[in-house]
Structure 1
Amino acid sequence: MAVFTAVTEPQLAQWMRDYDLGEVVDFRGIQSGIENSNFFLTTTRGEYVLTIFEKLTAAQLPFYLDLMRHLARHRVPVPDPMPRADGSLFGLLNGKPAAIVTKLEGSAELAPREEHCIEVGQMLARMHLAGRDFPRQQPNLRSLPWWRETVPAVLPFVTEAQRELLTAELAHQETFFASPDYAAMPGGPCHCDLFRDNVLFAHADPSTGHAVRLGGFFDFYFAGCDKWLFDVAVTVNDWCVDIATGKLDLARVEAMLRAYQTVRPFTTEENRHWDDMLRAGAYRFWVSRLYDFHLPRAAELLKPHDPTQFERILRERLVGSALPGVHTSCN
């Protein structure tokens, strides 16, 4: 959520004429993230987030915005896109597509405990099931075809040991993705980037007996149709690890997976290839962070993530996770 495209007050005022959201009270850039330009927007009607899309095209945007609207209507707590006067969910701002969505309640929990993982696991399963009747189709744009395209671009910047791991793991994932077990896994719309900083928790109501309360999932602009297990693996690789070492915290893993499976149990194929999918989730983010670190774009506010974090996670996953069921890696 760096700011790549600046917006002046007159430009914002002109653009807001196409919305019925009242007068602008406050407007400021959001510094975290590396993909789009994001701003907190407060009006006399409420609090919102304005996003200018730096890579996504007008043709691609309906998938993401319609998905959020679909999930919101199915009582999944996600940002709800605000319609413009003509009914569309986005318009052009400074020549780029832009949208306004509702701002969720709460704040991120960057040191999650088991109770946070339970809330995330349950809601992730609910989100997957809610997306089953979503009519639009778009693949995860950061999956295998993108890895094949991007890995050669980052190889000149890495060590020989990293080069060997990148190429060996790509070959492993190609075999896994081509397997009958992979084809048999259920899937649909996935968040594909459900990290700790993309989930909010609000103050819990003591009368409910819950220690924490989920505020919602946001930043759906890496979403795509993929295997549900990939979405779970990406989430576990961030929520249930020691960041310094990449090692899994098995108590948090068990809490999240148990909660998820109370809503949607894993299939035999998913249990069998849990380790392979954890590796796929780690590989996806190691490759993307290598690319963003070594081949960055200019931005007004930009904080690239450390790629070595997911190298550590991938190397740990090569050892095996010991959860959740029978483990037979696709070799």
Structure 2
Amino acid sequence: MSSDQSHIPVLIQEVIEGLAPVEGRQIVDGTFGAGGYSRCFLEAGARVIGIDRDPSVAPFVDALKADFDDKFQFLPGQFGQMATLLAEADISDVDAIVLDIGVSSMQLDQGERGFSFMRDGPLDMRMEQAGATAADMVNGLEERELSDLIFGFGEEKRARAVAKAILAAREEAPLTTTLQLANLIEKTLGKGKPGKAHPATKTFQALRIAVNAEYNQLVHGLYDAEAILPAGGKLAVVTFHSMEDRIVKRFFKPQAQQSRHLPMSEEAPQCWDDISKPIRPSKEELNRNPRARSATLRYATRNEVPARAFSMDGLGVPGMAKKQEVGAKT
């Protein structure tokens, strides 16, 4: 990766090994961000199609086009709609797909985007910079809805306490900035032990996931990849928290749906071979990039079993995520 890249691609060597061979292949980077993965694939001799929903990635797109000319192509949009995006661009020969799920380092570092509780800025969190913001949710949802969101998407065990504190605070004035919310959560839950995650981490995660319909995006993206890739094609997915990783794990290796009312159940279709075990960053990588600490990589190879119809059943997706539509800016 060139020295002027601000985004350090997490587990990049392991991703390249999982996709090997890379040279001469056409790879879809479904979560382009600052272009870290795309640049590494291009430098390794691949052709790359980048996809991203965030308009602010334009300078990174221009840089790769300048450096690699027609070996790099960019499609603006959501990776949960990549089958449609590729079809509209008349692209069908895809050898591999990579998804790096969640917020990018580029977005975290821009305080004005509202993703980080470490930088003051508007309580926004919209990747597409359109539609409802985190502030809209924090100031508009009822206590039960807010508590369910924080618990379901953030796995915050004290979600009720956080929701109650938010409602009490907003009676005085709306919560509009990241530090307002972060300080309120810290006051409610306590500062926590040294070396542990900030107490606002899970609530911010939950709001970001809800604002951007991220679980819905993930599942749609996985099924699109299954439909796009030919036998022998490879899919690599990097996740940053346990629920995302469980979804990917269950997608790659689905279990038969059992029912106490039925004596037999059909065997779940197995569309993927050579499924990797979960791969975590090395100590050396963590020393270089502490943000990689929660990353998990899983990859697999597409076989000849026909692609499945879209379904969230059996993946462990939170119920509220099933109500969100990919493509909707609400």
- Common fold by TM > 0.5: no
TM-score of the superposed pair, with normalisation by structure 2? 0.29
TM-score of the superposed pair, with normalisation by structure 1? 0.29
